[in-house]
Structure 1
Amino acid sequence: MRTSHLSFETQDGVTLAYDDIGSGIPLLCLAGLTRNMDDFEPVVDHFAHRARIIRLDSRGRGASQFTDPATYTIAQESKDALALLDHLKVDRVALLGTSRGGLIAMVLAATAKERLSGVLLNDIGPELDSSGLAHIMTYLGRPCPYSSYSDAADKLPLALGPHFSNVSRSLWLTYARRLWSIGPTHLELRYDPQLRDAVEAAAMDKTPDLWPLFDALCDLPLAVLRGANSNLLSRNCLEQMQVRRPDMIAAQVADRGHVPFLDEPESVSVIERFLAQIEESAA
């Protein structure tokens, strides 16, 4: 993992961390709700030779500034993504969005489609399975229960075993380092615990129909990855997405739940095909 990042300031004065590496098609990577840019290390490893990989830590996550939790919204984070593109003077990007990052991608397709050259959704769609949402609330904003990275690597297979199998201990260690930092007695969250307040506040509103946002992706190259054991993106939702977009590149990642790590053969293959389609569209 990188220990230093680039940064810029948003219009409302929040400092956000990002990374910009590689050359080729600009590929903006947006992480999930509690995650950060380190989730995209496999993408850098496999594709920095053919894509300019831009990774953003959303406000309140990773190395970005913790701020008013009322601004931890998909609408604001969509504006932050556009602000980063403006800061870098990048007109259009392909967007790889994991979970919440994919929801941001769909919002941008509806509000700023001219800035997108294509979208790859990692284990997210226009319907969110209630069991997955309930699971997120069991840990969101709660202290990490593990005393060390080694302790986490020992216990994560039991905690996530039903959804993730065939994961080596070294990969669990990598996973733990991406999610938590070392604290005095326990591992510590790498995001603002008040993110829970923002999610609870949003849950009080009626859940909007997200299918119009998915349909806004029309005419854009589109790909989707689903963890075969995902509890957030159902198999039925994926099938409905394929009916609406029969041209969509799609794959299910064996032995993975929410979310695939992006280093799996299925993931690498989909990213490869997606980038090739973007390159062909740009030619």
Structure 2
Amino acid sequence: MPQLEVDGAALMYDDEGPRDGDAAPLVFIHGWTANRHRWDHQVAHFAGDRRVIRLDLRGHGESTGAGVKTVAELAQDVVALLDHLEVDRFVPVGHSMGGMISQTLALAHPDRVERMVLVNSIGRMTYSRGRGLLMAASTLVPFKLFVAANIQRAFAPGYPREQIREYVRASAGTPREVVMTLYGAMRAFDVLDRAGEITAPTLMVHGYHDIQLPVGQMLRMAKAYPDAEVRIIDAGHELPVERPAELTAVLDRFLSPVA
């Protein structure tokens, strides 16, 4: 399995699909405590026709490393991988924290981001007083309980419990330092005031039942974007695995003009 050494981390990645097409490669970026396999359905679909890249972020999945304190630092890892692979123009597809990374990339490298897809993501973390107190209190419980509480509430009602338990177990394998530091990084993330600078055509796909990052916050972000398309799906926060076929179909329609 290919890996890239970056600032003390070994980043595991997949680079699939044909290299001879005109379409910009898709770069799939997973969310907090997840890994690159969140995108299995989407990668299997798109890799037949175009180049597809995905990675385990630093400290996640099969990648090693820690020490990152901001979303921008994770974005730098993605750029390092793309430079290593000699990829110039690309289409970031980011879920949750991965969408925050995608927006950071679009702001820092507007000449390289051809289009962008944000899945269950937002430009600014906004809490009501009650939700803010709840989230702050959750950090005081034992680590595994903290992770379990956050992952369980990410799925829409009715999602199979055994599958949720598998995701909880996988998430709990992420090093504590990485989990807690990036939890703080997401709470501090805020690019909403700069959303107007992102001119790349952007698809925003969100789960109607998302209580992690409520759909209303995404719609607020969409209003600030010069060129945004919005799609709402009957799911929770984990769209790539809750409704994989529906998400893939929506991505396919959005990407078809440049495929």
Instruction: Tell whether the structures are fold-level matches, with TM greater than 0.5.
Output: yes
Q: Do the aligned partners of 2:11 and 2:57 also contact (CA within 8 Å) in 1?
A: yes
Partner of 1:40: 39
Give the Å deviation of 1:132: 8.6
Give the Å deviation of 1:35: 0.8
Q: Do the aligned partners of 2:14 and 2:54 also contact (CA within 8 Å) in 1?
A: yes
Give secondary structure in 2 for the equivalent of 1:120. strand
Partner of 2:143: 142
Give secondary structure in 2 for the equivalent of 1:194. helix
Q: Do the aligned partners of 2:156 and 2:210 also contact (CA within 8 Å) in 1?
A: no
Aligned-residue identity in percent: 27
Q: Do the aligned partners of 1:222 and 1:249 also contact (CA within 8 Å) in 2?
A: yes
Q: Summarize deviations over 1:25-59 as a string: whole Å, max 9, x none.
A: 41111111111101011112222212322111111
Q: In structure 1, what is the Cα distance between the partners aligned to 2:196 and 2:217? A: 14
Runs of 4+ in 1 over 4 A off after TM superposition: 132-137, 175-179, 200-204
Which of 64, 80, 84 is 1:83 aligned to?
A: 80
Normalised by the size of structure 2, how large is the TM-score?
0.81
Map 1:254-265; keep pairs closer than 5 Å. Answer: 254=234, 256-262=235-241, 263-265=243-245
Which of 169, 182, 187 is 1:180 aligned to?
A: 169
Task: Give the letter for the 1:44 counterpart.
Answer: V
Partner of 2:70: 73
Q: In structure 1, what is the Cα distance between the partners aligned to 2:101 and 2:44? A: 24
Structure 1 residue runs of 5 or longer lacking an equivalent are: 147-151, 182-187
Give secondary structure in 2 for the equivalent of 1:180. helix
Which of 152, 155, 167 is 2:159 aligned to?
A: 167
How many residues are treated as equivalent by the alignment? 250
Q: Summarize deviations over 1:5-28 as a string: whole Å, max 9, x none.
A: 320111x23211111122354111
Partner of 1:233: 213
Q: Is 2:253 the counterpart of 1:273? A: yes
Partner of 2:102: 105
Give secondary structure in 2 for the equivalent of 1:229. coil
Partner of 1:52: 51
Which of 120, 123, 132 is 1:123 aligned to?
A: 120
Give secondary structure in 2 for the equivalent of 1:116. coil
* Cα gap change, 1:246 to 1:74, in 2 (>3 Å): closer
Give secondary structure in 1 for the equivalent of 2:239. coil
Task: Give the letter for the 1:250 counterpart.
Answer: V
Structure 2 residue runs of 5 or longer lacking an equivalent are: none
Q: In structure 2, what is the Cα distance between the partners aligned to 1:258 and 1:128? A: 15
Give the Å deviation of 1:119: 0.8
